Amino acid sequence: MSRPTPVPRHLETTLSAHTEPRDLEAGPLTPAQTESLFTEHARAVHRYARTRLGTAEAEDVVAEVFAIAWRKGEIPDDPRAWLFAIARRVLANQVRAERRRTALAERTLRHPAAPGPDDARLVDELDVLRRALAFLRPADREVVELLAAAELSTAEVAGVLGCTTASAATRVYRARRRLRAAYRTVTEGQET
């Protein structure tokens, strides 16, 4: 069981101690509802953003998502899926910007510090998983990120992707199957 991603301290201080989660209704977005929306969903949006971006950039995504939500002014029936759909668009913009900085980061990663004896196996396993994810098409990788990092249900994935639940279920099944195949390919390549 994974630990919840903490809300960054500077974002956490904006929350009211009197906000009760799950008091959201569809309709005009009040300041209290904005706080409640943030309290209830900021961690999940941050975790989703962290699948593609660093901590600072993920915090920027969270801030932008809730600023957009506030500007839109109304909460739809499914606020969680709505926020992830907004996050998906914001992330696409952030990822494009991140690509411009990737060359320097890759040069830095070529010379990483050696892992300690306790975390060597975990580092190896994460490396295998990253290589397996690299084999996936971007659409499949996005489905895996929504399921694993954002911990969304298939119905919520459908809301984020803007498709039917049946279509999302098919995409989830195929993405998982392709990830298993890619994982086998990567691990079998290590053995030879």
pLDDT (0 to 100) of residue 123: 75
Tell whether 20 and 89 lie within a shared domain. Answer: yes
pLDDT digit string (tens) for 119-139? Answer: 667 777 888 888 898 899 999
* Residue where a domain stops, chosen among 75, 95, 112: 112
Domain that holds residue 178: 116-192
Tell whether 56 and 130 lie within a shared domain. Answer: no
pLDDT (0 to 100) of residue 69: 86
pLDDT at 190 over 50: yes
Tell whether 84 and 165 lie within a shared domain. Answer: no
Q: Rounded to an integer, what distance in angstroms lies between the CA atom of residue 112 and that of residue 17? A: 42
pLDDT at 21 over 50: no
Tell whether 138 and 187 lie within a shared domain. Answer: yes
State if pTM tops 0.75: no
pLDDT at 56 over 80: yes
pLDDT at 145 over 80: yes
Tell whether 52 and 147 lie within a shared domain. Answer: no
* Per-residue burial over 92-104, b = 16 or more CB atoms within 10 Å of its CB, e = otherwise: eebeeeeeeeeee
pLDDT at 78 over 80: yes
* Residue where a domain stops, chosen among 79, 112, 145: 112
Tell whether 19 and 73 lie within a shared domain. Answer: yes
Q: Rounded to an integer, what distance in angstroms lies between the CA atom of residue 90 and that of residue 115? A: 33
User: What tokens appear for 167 in the block?
Assistant: 């279509």
Tell whether 88 and 138 lie within a shared domain. Answer: no
Quote the percentage of the chain above a pLDDT of 90: 29
Confidence bin at 176 (pLDDT 50/70/90):
very high
Lowest mean pLDDT among 2-11, 114-123, 128-137: 2-11
pLDDT (0 to 100) of residue 88: 92
* Residue where a domain stops, chosen among 61, 83, 112: 112
Tell whether 72 and 137 lie within a shared domain. Answer: no
Tell whether 161 and 138 lie within a shared domain. Answer: yes
CATH number at residue 100: 1.10.1740
CATH number at residue 177: 1.10.10.10
Give the number of domains in the chain: 2
pLDDT at 46 over 90: yes
pLDDT (0 to 100) of residue 28: 66
